[in-house]
Chains A and B, each alone.
Chain A
Amino acid sequence: QVQLQESGPGLVKPSETLSLTCIVSGVSIRTYYWSWIRQPPGKGLEWIGYIYYSGSTNYNPSLNSRVTISLDTSKNQFSLNLSSVTAADTAVYYCASGGGKHDYWGQGTLVTVSS
């Protein structure tokens, strides 16, 4: 049974870097692509980017300059860094399997950007 679990700070100050980790269980991270998706409160879904186990990445062009996704195969997890955050980055952040269709999702973690 594939499970994903996000972890990281729930509060980040403006201009700082948001960092989240997704721990994957039930399958090796050396399969599939792995994605981050976010959802501002009361709004729709926004794709952030994905990584393949080889390390190749693809990011949303609107976030490209601020996003880094990396993976740690030894811990079976992958991570998101989003730099220079503003209030507009406040959202529930989801990790998910796949680079296209997403069969498995984490429960999501709310990150608020505020001083």
Chain B
Amino acid sequence: EIVLTQSPGTLSLSPGERATLSCRASQSVSGSYLAWYQQKPGQAPRLLIYRASSRATGIPDRFSGSGSGTDFTLTISRLEPEDFAVYYCQQYGSSPTFGGGTKVEIK
């Protein structure tokens, strides 16, 4: 099983700032099959990024993903008020697993 470790656990930022979230895998993720999701309280997760760097349909271009192998990053270029949420990475190159999440909160 591939273990995904997300850091930091919590990120305190102000609207307009840049957010950089990390996801590290315990072994190489096959084919860069790595996705990022956003989850707000009481809601289902929403797909943001798949295949490490491809934006899902309707996702604003302030969200971008990068990385390969064992190290992946989600960047939000300028935080909007609606971006404060919990973010999860997921690998699906082998039996799928999720990271523990990063909470982006208002500073």
Query: A residues near B, CB below 8 A?
Result: 44-47, 58, 60-61, 94, 96, 99-103, 105-108
Contacts and interface: CB of A to CB of B under 8 A. Distances in A.
B95 A101 contact: no
A102 B48 CA distance: 10
A101 B44 contact: no
B1 A44 contact: no
B95 A60 contact: yes
A94 B95 contact: no
A108 B100 contact: no
Contact of B47 (A46, A94, A103): A103
B78 to A, nearest CB: 25
Contact of B95 (A44, A61, A102): A61
Given A100-B33, A100-B35, A103-B56, A108 B44 contact: yes
Interface of B: 1, 33, 35, 37, 43-47, 50-51, 56-57, 88, 90, 92, 95-101
Nearest to A107: B44
Contacts of B98: 44-47
B50 A44 contact: no
A101 B45 contact: no
Nearest to A100: B92
B1 A61 contact: yes
Contacts of B96: 47, 99-100
Contacts of B56: 101, 103
Contacts of A107: 43-44
B44 A94 contact: yes
A45 B88 contact: yes
Nearest to A35: B96
A47 B33 contact: no
A107 B101 CA distance: 19
